[in-house]
């Protein structure tokens, strides 16, 4: 699960895909012009599609994403949400009862 304050584990599926704009000079030396945190995946030409789809497939392959990971992640999130929801049931009532007993 990828949330602030949650330590990465083997279950963690957090990653960022950055876009680098690079200029190559006459001596074939690369210069980074900028780094985009949210690179565009718009495509206007076939070559753009071919490059970007290959990038996505290779990224998912490197991360070892499988279709079963999505279901597993959803199940973990549901379980955690239910735990948080049910752990708070009765807290308000108990707190109010304790306050009344103090009076």
Q: What is the residue extent of each domain of the chain?
A: 68-103
Rounded to whole angstroms, how far apart are CA atoms 24 and 30? Answer: 4
The predicted structure's pLDDT at residue 101: 60
Rounded to whole angstroms, how far apart are CA atoms 64 and 51? Answer: 20
- 76: number of CA atoms within 13 Å, CB side? 11
- For residue 49, pLDDT beyond 90: yes
- For residue 31, pLDDT beyond 80: yes
**Residues ≥6 apart with Cβ < 8 Å to 31:** 22, 23, 24, 25
* CA nearest neighbour of 11 among 67, 76, 68: 76
Q: Identify any residues that bridge with 22 across adjacent strands, giving them in sequence order.
A: 32
Please report the beta strands in 1-103, taking only residues with DSSP state E, as ranges in sequence order. Answer: 19-24, 30-36
Average pLDDT over residues 21-45: 94
pTM (two decimals): 0.48
């Amino acid at each position: 699960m990828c949330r602030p304050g949650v330590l990465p584990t083997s279950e963690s599926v957090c990653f960022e895909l950055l876009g680098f704009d690079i200029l190559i000079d006459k001596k074939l030396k690369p210069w980074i012009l900028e780094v985009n945190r949210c690179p565009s995946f718009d495509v206007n030409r076939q070559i753009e599609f071919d490059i970007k789809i290959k990038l996505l497939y290779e990224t998912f392959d490197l991360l070892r994403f499988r279709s079963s990971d999505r279901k597993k992640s959803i199940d973990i999130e549901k379980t955690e949400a239910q735990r948080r929801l049910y752990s708070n049931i009765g807290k308000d009532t108990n707190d109010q009862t304790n306050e009344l007993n103090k009076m």
